[in-house]
Structure 1
């Protein structure tokens, strides 16, 4: 008995070029950025508090514009640093942005679900 699903998954990852992987990760960055902003503001509307002191200060001082500015700065730094890496390592830039923002979305969704 064999399971070809695992083999197919491994082949897809092996055939994925760094450029294609990077594009997919930038899509994940965009989705996680939007998800983080939306879930943060939904949570704040429900009475939850922002735990990141920098983000909390930006939101308290400038609202949505402050949050967008923080995210924009992070993306800009990533885009500025990206050309410094060899092409094979460039996917680390969007991965480094998407990973914490995706984790934040998961945490925010959990916190919202407990507040409802």
Structure 2
């Protein structure tokens, strides 16, 4: 195996740059966060319970504001950690926020559908 002619340029398919990907993923964070919060509160309204102990405590103590503060804290940690990464690796931060929140929203929708 030879590394002659190998390039270290970080290009994504379709001329999508890491900066473009990061912007797209931050949009996904906003949508996933909103979907998670909305479906959580719909589920709670239907009598379901929050399974995440941190979120449950925030909601029980402070309602929607507590849940939003918890999400804002997570985004803030992500923004600080993002600065520690080279630009090419920064999209991992919003992906790391959006993926679990989207998964939680989908699980919430499934759980809500089982009780309707």
User: Which residue of structure 1 lines up, in the alignment, with residue 3 of structure 2?
Assistant: none
User: Which residue of structure 1 lines up, in the alignment, with residue 30 of structure 2?
Assistant: 30
1:104 aligns with 2:104: yes
CA distance in 1, matches of 2:14, 2:66: 40
Aligned pairs for 1:1-116 (under 5 A) are: 13-116=13-116
Structure 2, gaps ≥5 residues long:
1-11
Deviation of the 1:83 alpha carbon: 1.1
CA displacement 1:16-37 (0-9 Å, x = unmatched): 1000000000000000000000
Instruction: Please list every run of at least 4 consecutive aligned residues from structure 1 whose deviation after the TM superposition is greater than 4 angstroms.
Output: none
Deviation of the 1:13 alpha carbon: 2.9
Give the TM-score, by structure 2 length: 0.88
Kindly tell me the number of residue pairs found equivalent between the two proteins. Answer: 105
CA distance in 2, matches of 1:14, 1:88: 16
Give the TM-score, by structure 1 length: 0.88
What secondary structure, in the 3-state scheme, does the structure 2 residue paired with 1:84 have?
coil
Q: Hey, which of these two has a bigger chunk of helix by percent?
A: 1
